Amino acid sequence: MLRIGLTAGRAAARRLRTSSNRCLVRNFNLNNNNNNNSKNAFASSFRAFTACSISDSKAIATTSNVLDAETVTEAYGADAPKYGAVEDSAMSDAYAAIELALDSVVKIFTVASSPNYFLPWQNKSQRETMGSGFVISQRRILTNAHVVADHTFVLVRKHGSPTKYRAEVKAVGHECDLAILVVENEEFWDGMTFLELGDVPFLQEAVAVVGYPQGMLHEGDNISVTKGVVSRVEPTQYVHGASQLLAIQIDAAINPGNSGGPAIMGDKVAGVAFQNLSGAENIGYIIPVPVIKHFIAGVEETGDYVGFCSMGMSCQPTENAQLREHFQLRPGLTGVLVSKINPLSDAYKVLKKDDIVLSFDGVPIANDGTVPFRNRERITFDHLVSMKKPDETAQVRVMRNGEEHEFSVTLRPLQPLVPVHQFDKLPSYFIFAGFVFIPLTQPYLHEYGEDWYNTSPRRLCERALRELPKKAGEQLVILSQILMDDINAGYERLAELQVKKVNGVEVDNLKHLRQLVEDCSIESVRFDLDDERVIALNYDAAKVATSRILKRHRIPYAMSTDLIDEQNVSQIELACSS
């Protein structure tokens, strides 16, 4: 089934993994919590790449297609050829790529600390990771989002320099796994040149991936290049951001530390290295220029990441002849069947279930959901949708009850009911009488381990992957755990259930739940949960118990900062000091 802007089930591309060395750094063994598929509903099987590669620092490793710039000089001595002038024509592009990249590609050092979703008032231990990046126009550095995700401190170092410079993260797009860094120190920019963005390479065209891959015996301090050819171009699962966007598959290994490095074709950038296929040799993926330009254009126009548009539809192919006949799809017409529409999308206002979408902006859609791409290639029409700018309109032609209609649909990024990732922000929580309430997120489910799809609460997992929001701002609020006390004894088995009502009022989101609790004007407060379970507490006694429980567990605040407003600041300070 085609998924247009809706979170799918478990990803088919389970073996995809990001290529930064986010794991096994200084003995930290961490899961990469970003799936949508990213480690996400697709993620239960997505992991950050943890293997390391060994490279010989004294010889040109032609057998592995990995070239080290400084190694070339060591191997040839004073007679070392200028890169690009090597007799072996098969390797000349690799040498040219090194020469082009020496003054553009940088090594990135990140200190990061991810939230603890089981204990949302805490962060996990900090970890150090490394990746690559390269200079683009206007003194900016482009890299992968997963290289700087949950960062607390970022340094960059240019080739041939022992000095690390402080960098600030200007913009991050986790869906497209891209980030822009800026360095204020003028000394850093001496001798640096920027790389230009090129075009999407054709099949079998050669590219060279440049970066700082890690090894088991060293930290990849020398720049290296890996040659490969393009084997396919199609929308692909982005592991980190749990999205499906255009990607380029190449037959070159993308190793830990390569993340964020440029893939060079000729004298321009063809893409950004970002992930590989676990268990397969020499299958890597790069982010193509159209996705890069969409990300950069949004940042330049708004100052921040704007996201990728979605129609908010789930569509079914109409390859079966009887299915087409049933929906009165005449011979010569092709399209896909609308099976589900996100109520928050603009398409929900004009399209209906069982419509057949015939074309998007005048481009015919085949029965398998694909559209023409180039050189007789085809890709899913999701790509056309994702390349639209937020609030742009598209003309959609549909077949409804045997009649053709054309509608104008406004496109914008859509958020799922249960967020797929929560990078660079703290989790929300509200504690009352020892009951810890949170909005359900996929990162919370990832805390159940690598096989979270099978080990997390089944009902919550299914809702996270399938349910759609019915109104703006809606969250699925759950009782995540109970901090034991006399006030809540006997309720300990009610954890991991959804909270549906407070004193008879349906809960819209966590902030609404907090407001309903604080506005309680009767003796008891009642919570209605899944399975018709009920929690009832004496309101005054519960408020007193809250302060006692917070102090016992050394929790500074009864709620996360995003829930704080002027009305309850004094209550929070009182709870903290009690």
3-state secondary structure of 505: strand
User: Which has the closest alpha carbon to 528: 484, 498, 487?
Assistant: 498
CB-based contact 293:270 (threshold 8 Å):
no
Is 240 an annotated catalytic residue? Answer: no
Specify the DSSP element, H or E, that contains 446. Answer: helix 442-446
Q: Which of 45, 146, 383, 560 is catalytic?
A: 146
Q: What gap in Å lies between CA 553 and CA 429, rounded to an integer?
A: 15
Query: In angstroms, rounded to a whole number, what is the distance separating the alpha carbons of residues 351 and 532?
Result: 36
Cα(17)–Cα(45) distance, rounded to whole angstroms?
Answer: 9
Is 421 labeled as catalytic in the residue annotation? no
**Active-site choice (177, 346, 355, 528):** 177
Contact status, residue 418 vs residue 440, Cβ threshold 8 Å: yes
Phi, psi at 408, each rounded to 5°: -100, 125
Catalytic one of 259, 386, 456, 480: 259
Place of tokens 């040498």: 95
113 classed as catalytic = no
- For 85-146, strand residue ranges (E) read 105-112, 127-136, 140-143
Whether 163 contacts 157, CB under 8 Å: yes
- Cα-Cα-Cα-Cα torsion 228, 231, 236, 239, nearest 10 degrees, comes to -30
C-alpha to C-alpha distance for 387 and 287, rounded to whole angstroms: 14
Give CA separation, 575 vs 518, 526, 567, 572, in Å: 14, 22, 14, 5
Query: Which residues are part of the catalytic machinery?
Result: 146, 177, 259
